[in-house]
Each structure stands twice: as structure tokens, then as C-alpha cells.
Structure 1
Amino acid sequence: MTATSPVLPARTPDSRAASLLAESAAAVDGGVMTHREFFRWLDERREEQAQRVERVPFEALRGWDFDPRTGDLRHATGGFFSIRGLRVRSGFGPVREWSQPVILQPEIGMLGIAVREFGGVLHLLMQAKSEPGNVNGVQLSPTVQATKSNYTRLHGGSAVPYLDSFRVPDPRKVVADVLQSEQGSWFLHKRNRNMVVEVGPEVEAGRDFCWLTLGQVNALLHHDNLVNMDARTVLSCLPDWRYASGDSARDHTSALHKDLEIRSWITRRRAEHDGAVELIPLKDAEGWRRSGDALSHARGLFFSIVGVDVSSGRREVPAWTQPLLQPHGTGIAALLVRNIGGVRHALLRARAEPGFLDVVELGPTVQCAPENYAHLPPADQPPYLEEVLRRRSAGVLYDTALSEEGGRFRNAQSRYMIIEVEEDFPTSAAEDFRWVTPWQLDALLKYSHHLNVQARTLVAALRTL
């Protein structure tokens, strides 16, 4: 197992942090800003941060061009990101070999939430941030959401607010600090540093920022397209405050699969994966066709690469152009949960995605865009997809449309669902699946590359129930 592998110790999180988080999670209204005041503030931010985002042909992208030799789409500075070709060979799944475009961004971004006590109650400093790919412009983001190109000001724009709180924080003030992946089907080896850092009274909320309790943020996770992907992944890395009372001991001993079994299973899936990925010239990606305004799959599946022209008076740079990845169809990310031995368990799948740094990460029970599987026979449909699609309301604990990262993806949405199945639902599962307790998920999230970004969103949602 790699150096980032978890030990899964049978202990609760730091008692002070857990206690503060539990109190903050219980504070669902009031504090610095009431629920009503928040939505009034958000409406004002959306009005002030109005963006114009227009699809444009590739030739209209300023500073971006296709390499005449490889066909790769790059920025003239060599920074930001590039669109390359990827050849994939996999030992899993109905399709064992394919080529595709992939986003290559070989830098580690910074995602950080500052926390501070007001009247003894912990509050999170959240940002209203517009992104060109968001379906509704402004969404709630972390205090800091920046790529290295952003915070080194490669674009020549303004400085990133609050960055100094995260660059070299006092170790005693760090609540969470872990590298986590992004979408392994669209990025190659993309990682962000997910941080939560406690700050003092000298840190105040700027114009586009507000202090909210954890309870308020948890409530907002039930609103469509409000809390963005970057905020959700940082929230998932918080220690699970629900185990401050000592319930974790029962959760630990009553798990269907003991900690060593889970660790061994993850290691085995990684070791047994028979596959390889190779960067290739974008022009050599078989089955993909480039027109004047899109790079798309010949069958109209999966996604396209498109160009956009953006203008905004409230971003580090007021106007720019860039490529975006535009998915075809709405994704589904669903987690089946059930009571086993008096303890809630979630059914996770070991997923091999070509962009993962460590081959396999745990994902939701179902993670797919159903349209991309419509041409395949029933035997090749994702397991449990039919179970998820036939559900209407019975057992559905969470059902919210949430956007994926708006800085690289255009109008990318997934329907995130948590479904409680009956107690006669089988506990036995195929080799790719395991029932895992929330406490075990919490322990895995203390380490890098164990839960993918979709699973992390569902962990954050699970804690709100």
C-alpha cells in the first residue's frame, strides 16, 4: 500500500474540534447572518457578479491554440491547463480500450475554508463566486478556491483574498489538510489541497464573503446548484462531529467489514487492476472529431470540448476566453445506505478511472451518465442503476441537482441521491462493492486518494441527514 494509506485507528476526532463542529452543526439559523439575510445577500452578489458567457469558435480563443504538430490545445503561456489525448487500457468494465481528450493541469490547487468562533459558535467563511461553467452563475464556494496559476497571478489579475491564512498556517490551527483528486474521467492526475483552518478576529468577511454556521451550510446543501463542488469536497474532509459522543466505538465494532478488510480490499483492487494510461497527441484520439467550434465524439456521447468568451467585472481578470469541457447529459451519483447490525452502512464501489493517481478510488454505488450506456446491452449497464432509477420517493433521503466544477466544465450537473434500502436488501455484493460505515468513511477521508470527488459530495450530504 502507498504511503498515504490510512491506519483507521479506533479513536474519535480531536474532542475540541468535534465539539465545536457539533455545536455549529446544531445552529441552523441565526448567528452572524440569518437564513433570510443570507438569501438576500446572495441575490445581491448574483446581481453584482453577473457574467456574460458566450460560446465562441476555437479561432476566437485569445491566447489558446491547437499545436500544429500534436493537435493539443494549449495556452500561449504554457500555464493554466491543456487539452491532450489519452489512450486507456483497462481490465474492468464493458469497454476495455479507448481514446479520449483529457484535461492536463499539472499543478496542485488550493481549496480552503476559514473557520472562526462568534459567541462561542464556530462559523465558516464562505464565498459567493461566479464561474463561467456554472448553470446559474454565482454559487457558494470555499474561502479560497484557486489554482496555482491563479495565486501566482500568471493571468496578471488581482491577488486572491485570504490566501495567506492557508499558505503557511499555524499547525495548531489546522482542522483538516489533505490532498484529494478531482474527476478521474476528465482530468489526468488532478489534485487539490483541501484545508480547513481556524482564524482569529482579525479575519473579517469581505464584500463577497459571509460567515455561516455549519448547520446553515448543511441546510444549503439541500438546494439545487447552490453549494459548489469545491466547497463540498472541503466540507467532507472535516472530522465527522457526530462521533464526539463516543458512538464511534459501537460503529467501529459493528461494521460489516472490519477496518483491515476494507484496507486489504482497496489494496487488492489497486494491485489487480490490469490497465495502463498513456498521453498521446490529441489529434490521435480515435473516434473524436474537431470542427470549428467543438471537439466531440463521433457518436455524440460523453462530452465535448468547446470555447467560451467570458466578461465579468468582479473576477481577478475582467474578461478572458478559455476552453471548457461540456458533458452530454446529466450525471447520476447515488449512494445506497441501509441499517446493518444497528449501524448505518453505505455501499461504495471501487472505481478505476483513467485519471486517478492511484488507479482506484471509492465512488458512489452508482456513478454514470445513463445516456452514455444506452447503446450497451443490459448486462453491461452499471450495477444498481435500475434500482436507483425506479425509486421515486420511498427511501430517498437526499435528491439534489449539484454542479460540478464551473471553472473547467460547462453546465455540468449531477443528480446526487442517497437512498435507504430495506433491511432485506442483500449485504453480499460483487467484488467491486463493499458496505462501509460513516465512521470508516471519516477515517478514509483523513488520507489522500481514497474517496473520489462524487463520493465526497455524498459524504457531506450524508452528514446533513
Structure 2
Amino acid sequence: MTAAPLGRRIALSASGDATPSSSDAELEEWWLSRPRHELLSVDRTGFDATDQWYFSADTGDLAHRSGGFFSVRGLEASDSGRTVHQPAIHQSEIGVLGILVKEIAGVPHFLMQAKFEPGNVNLRQLSPTVQATKSNYTAVHGGRSTPYMEYFRAPRPGRVLSDVLQSEQGEWFWHKHNRNIVVEVPPDTEVPARQDHRWCTLAQIHRMLHRDNVVNMDTRTVLSTLPVERADAPEGADPFTRALYRSYEDASLHSMTEVLSWFTEAKAVNEARSRLVPLGGLAGWERTDDEIRPLRHAGFHIIMVSVRARIREVDSWVQPLLAPTGPGFAAFLVKDIDGVLHVLVRSRAEPGTRDGVEMAPTVQDSPSAAALGRTEPYADEVRTRGRVLYDNLLSEEGGRFHHAQTRYRIVEATPELSTEVPEDFCWVTVAQLMELVRHGRYLNIEARTLLLCVHTLG
């Protein structure tokens, strides 16, 4: 096993100088060869299309008869004198999002999967080696076993590089967590890539992140937990690049103790409250034969889909999906402060978040945020004023959401923007974000995606 520091090895894999085992052209040929509509189909259907999903006579909750998978329940959220009622996805079991790493010709490669999810806008996206709920890998559905699962359950062959429970969308999930785990096997270990899997360098994945709807949410959150160590900026680099490279070091406007104290204060004074309530009779919502829909704008509805997929653990099934009415928006505002690039994060309360508050992007809009009374002080700065460094439309979780997409953007602030910020905002460095993301319940899913996107800059 290589003795070089992990962050340096991750940086090597992310470098354009690293030689991949498959060229970009070969990866693209493999990607385009993966089956799409000829083997996969997703169609709207009604609640009566299956007897496996039912509405509880007591609560009206939508649940699976196995007791596994997930359920759709009611959620009541109160904040600043405003109360909102909406459906939410409740999935108490913890799934596994695992990526396998192996050195090939001295360069760390990541075993990635072209995986179909029923809610994806383009059906299949670049996914972790393993992306499985507990119901999947314990075969509650009676389907086929999950390939490579043995590397992500103890006792396992290989060495754990990262292992942390991370939250998912707090506006739509109730207390949802998944295990984000990266495991490395020795270079001489035989790990054949199956037909839907390929070994990729991090640089190749980063390039795919600059294409809309290719790298899925689960890949983004797992890779965000890995440290990246950057050396000095290249000779002749522009001021932004030099500041970016320094952001991976120790210099910062606020010490980590100060950042943690700011965040602890935000959690301590948070007055937002939420609880699960029966779905049946949920105020402001109605159930028809094929959807649960709001009586006024709420940003999403619940639909049922019929799925046929001859390349999944189960060939066909019916399930509910949460369907947003439009794309969301999430942006990091960055600024050179004393020669070091800083990122502006916000403490954000979301009704389904287990701890109430997590660190979020500078600006985070979603189709349902307006109902909760969100205001975004830096919206103009990231939408019209600053210099755009990254801007792509990326899909959210395709197993529970239907065509959920977010416009992710990184924007360099205008020079006149003050470093003085409202009390729920804080300037942090990339190094501080990388330290925080190694632990659960700090960065929300949108902030973790943007952290990974920052690594693609410079």
C-alpha cells in the first residue's frame, strides 16, 4: 500500500498529468454503449397499479407492505410564525454509497458505475461502485445480489479511506442519512470491472462534472468526503488560481474553533420546529387516483411510476416518486481575502434535517423553499454580478425524486463586496470545508456537491 499522504494521492488522481487506464474517448464509447430506453422504461401510473404499496387506514401514509424501502408521510414545519404542511419521504434505514479505489500504474482509480435510476432525467448516470439501500442489499425485494457489496461491510478486504454518515435533502426527506464510504484495495488485488463498471481517475470524473446530468448525487457526496492536497500554484498563475491554491492550506479569516462556535450558536438559537404528522387529510393537499398534489403552489407533488429495467436487481416494479415542479439553484460565493480564497457558507434550517441546521451554500433556492419563507441576501451577487466560475445543471437523487435537478454555480464576488456578513453567514476556506465534511451533520448535500465542484477549478 502506498505510503504517500492520502490528500496528495487524491490530488495525483485529480491531476491532468495522471495517465488513466482508459482514455476519455474509451470511457465515452463505454458510456454511450450503456443501455437506455431499449432496456429501461419509466411511465406514470396510478396508486391502484400495485398491491405492494398501500395507504394506511389509520394515518393515510403511503407505505410498502414489506415494511422496508420507504414511506411517504406528512410533515409539519414551523418557523418565524409560519407553519407549512407537506408530504415527506421517510426512510429510516441507512443505505450504502460506496466507491472502490485501486492504484493502477501508480495512479488511484475509482470504480464507477453507469447506473439506471427511475427518476433520472436521462435514466442512467455515473454512480458509485455500490449504491444500495438496506432493502436492496438484504434482498427484501427478492432480487439479485448487489455486486461488490463485500467491500463495504465489515469484515472487508481493503482499507477504509473515508467513512461517514451524511444527510440528504432536508426539505424533502425526514432525517435521511446514508453511509458514504471509500475503500481502497491493494494494487495487486484482482477486482474485475463488470459490464456496467469502469475504472476512472478523479480527473476524468471532474471533467464529467462539467457536463449536465452526468455525475449523480451519490457520487458527488461520496467523493466530497476525500481530502485533496494541493501544492503551490503553478508558476505564472493568475491571482485567482494562487488564492484558490492557498485556500487548501491553513491560512483563514476565522480559526476552526471560531467556525465551529459560529455553527454551534446557529444550532443553539434555531427556533424552527418540525414533526411527522399523518399524510391523510394533510392541510393544503389532496389525493387523486395518481398523485398527491398541493391545493396551492408548494413546489412538488407525489406521483406513482411503473418501472421496467432488465439491468437492475429486480426487472419491474411500481413506486412513488417526489416530483419537483422545476429546478433548484445552489451557489457558492467565493472571495479573495488577504490572498486566500474563501467560501461564504450559511447556517440553514430545513424541516427534515436531524440536527435542525447544517451549513449550506451561500444561496440555495428550491421549488419548495418559498413556502418556508426563505430569503436569499446574496441572490443578486451570484445571479447577475459576480464572475461565474462553474455553472452546470446536476441531478438530485434519482431513486426517490422524479427529474429533480439543481443549477449549481460557483461565483467570484465583485471586489466591492464586504467581508462583513449577516450573523447566519461565515467565510471559510476550502481546507476548513474539507475538515468539516469528514464528519456528519455539518455540510448539507448541496454544499458537499459544490465543494467537489470547487476541486475542479484551477
Which TM-score applies when normalising by structure 2? 0.92
The answer to whether the Cα contact below 8 Å between 1:361 and 1:451 also exists between their aligned partners in 2 is yes
Among 45, 53, 60, the residue aligned to 1:56? 45
- Counterpart check, 1:228 vs 2:220: no
1:350 matched to which residue of 2? Answer: 347
2:390 matched to which residue of 1? Answer: 398
Per-residue CA distance 1:415-440 (angstroms, 9 max, x = gap): 00000112321111111111110000
1:205 matched to which residue of 2? Answer: 193
Q: Distance in 1 between matches of 2:247 and 2:327?
A: 38
Per-residue CA distance 1:301-360 (angstroms, 9 max, x = gap): 321000000001100000000000001111001110011011111110101111111111
1:262 matched to which residue of 2? Answer: 259
The answer to whether the Cα contact below 8 Å between 1:277 and 1:354 also exists between their aligned partners in 2 is yes
1:6 matched to which residue of 2? Answer: none
Q: Could you say if the C-alpha distance between residues 353 and 163 of structure 1 is closer, same or farther in structure 2, counting changes exceeding 3 Å?
A: same
Q: Distance in 1 between matches of 2:407 and 2:247?
A: 32
Q: Which moved more, 1:105-114 or 1:49-58?
A: 49-58
The answer to whether the Cα contact below 8 Å between 1:123 and 1:213 also exists between their aligned partners in 2 is yes
Counterparts of 1:209-288 in structure 2, within 5 Å, are: 209-242=197-230, 254-288=251-285
Q: Could you say if the C-alpha distance between residues 370 and 340 of structure 1 is closer, same or farther in structure 2, counting changes exceeding 3 Å?
A: farther
Q: Distance in 1 between matches of 2:270 and 2:369?
A: 23
Counterparts of 1:119-138 in structure 2, within 5 Å, are: 119-138=105-124
Q: Could you say if the C-alpha distance between residues 211 and 140 of structure 1 is closer, same or farther in structure 2, counting changes exceeding 3 Å?
A: same
Q: Could you say if the C-alpha distance between residues 15 and 422 of structure 1 is closer, same or farther in structure 2, counting changes exceeding 3 Å?
A: farther
Q: Give, in angstroms, the shift of residue 289 of structure 1.
A: 1.4
2:177 matched to which residue of 1? Answer: 191
The answer to whether the Cα contact below 8 Å between 1:401 and 1:416 also exists between their aligned partners in 2 is yes
Q: Distance in 2 between matches of 1:449 and 1:291?
A: 36
Q: Distance in 2 between matches of 1:343 and 1:143?
A: 35
Q: Distance in 1 between matches of 2:375 and 2:99?
A: 38
2:85 matched to which residue of 1? Answer: 99
Counterparts of 1:245-394 in structure 2, within 5 Å, are: 254-369=251-366, 373=370, 381-391=375-385
Letter of the 2:327 counterpart: T
Q: Distance in 2 between matches of 1:226 and 1:446?
A: 25
Letter of the 2:422 counterpart: A
1:35 matched to which residue of 2? Answer: 24
The answer to whether the Cα contact below 8 Å between 2:360 and 2:446 also exists between their aligned partners in 1 is yes
Gapped runs of 5+ residues in structure 1?
1-13
Q: Give, in angstroms, the shift of residue 172 of structure 1.
A: 7.2
Aligned-residue CA RMSD in angstroms? 2.3
- Counterpart check, 1:79 vs 2:68: yes
Q: Distance in 1 between matches of 2:247 and 2:10?
A: 21
**SS at structure 2 position matched to 1:242:** coil
Letter of the 1:206 counterpart: R
Letter of the 2:399 counterpart: G
Letter of the 1:25 counterpart: A
Counterparts of 1:8-19 in structure 2, within 5 Å, are: 15-19=4-8
Per-residue CA distance 1:387-416 (angstroms, 9 max, x = gap): 33325xx61010000000000000000000
Q: Could you say if the C-alpha distance between residues 253 and 134 of structure 1 is closer, same or farther in structure 2, counting changes exceeding 3 Å?
A: closer
The answer to whether the Cα contact below 8 Å between 1:340 and 1:423 also exists between their aligned partners in 2 is no
**SS at structure 1 position matched to 2:230:** helix
Per-residue CA distance 1:351-391 (angstroms, 9 max, x = gap): 11111111110010111136864998xxx642222333325
Gapped runs of 5+ residues in structure 2?
234-243
**SS at structure 2 position matched to 1:334:** strand
**SS at structure 1 position matched to 2:453:** helix
Among 392, 406, 421, the residue aligned to 2:413? 421
2:236 matched to which residue of 1? Answer: none
**SS at structure 2 position matched to 1:153:** coil
The answer to whether the Cα contact below 8 Å between 1:289 and 1:296 also exists between their aligned partners in 2 is yes
Q: Give, in angstroms, the shift of residue 28 of structure 1.
A: 6.4
1:431 matched to which residue of 2? Answer: 423
The answer to whether the Cα contact below 8 Å between 1:27 and 1:213 also exists between their aligned partners in 2 is no
Letter of the 1:410 counterpart: H
The answer to whether the Cα contact below 8 Å between 1:85 and 1:284 also exists between their aligned partners in 2 is no
Letter of the 2:56 counterpart: D
Q: Could you say if the C-alpha distance between residues 128 and 440 of structure 1 is closer, same or farther in structure 2, counting changes exceeding 3 Å?
A: same
**SS at structure 1 position matched to 2:136:** helix
Q: Give, in angstroms, the shift of residue 442 of structure 1.
A: 0.6
Q: Number of paired residues? A: 443
Q: Distance in 2 between matches of 1:275 and 1:371?
A: 16
**SS at structure 2 position matched to 1:31:** coil
Q: Which moved more, 1:164-173 or 1:260-269?
A: 164-173
The answer to whether the Cα contact below 8 Å between 1:15 and 1:244 also exists between their aligned partners in 2 is no
**SS at structure 1 position matched to 2:280:** helix
Q: Distance in 2 between matches of 1:374 and 1:89?
A: 11
Per-residue CA distance 1:115-168 (angstroms, 9 max, x = gap): 001111110000000000000011000001000000100010000000101101
Q: Could you say if the C-alpha distance between residues 187 and 244 of structure 1 is closer, same or farther in structure 2, counting changes exceeding 3 Å?
A: farther
Letter of the 2:215 counterpart: V
Per-residue CA distance 1:3-48 (angstroms, 9 max, x = gap): xxxxxxxxxxx95312221211114675211101111101111348
Q: Give, in angstroms, the shift of residue 277 of structure 1.
A: 1.7
**SS at structure 1 position matched to 2:434:** helix
Q: Distance in 2 between matches of 1:314 and 1:270?
A: 44
Q: Distance in 2 between matches of 1:464 and 1:312?
A: 33
Among 434, 441, 450, the residue aligned to 2:442? 450
1:8 matched to which residue of 2? Answer: none
1:23 matched to which residue of 2? Answer: 12
**SS at structure 1 position matched to 2:22:** coil
**SS at structure 2 position matched to 1:115:** strand
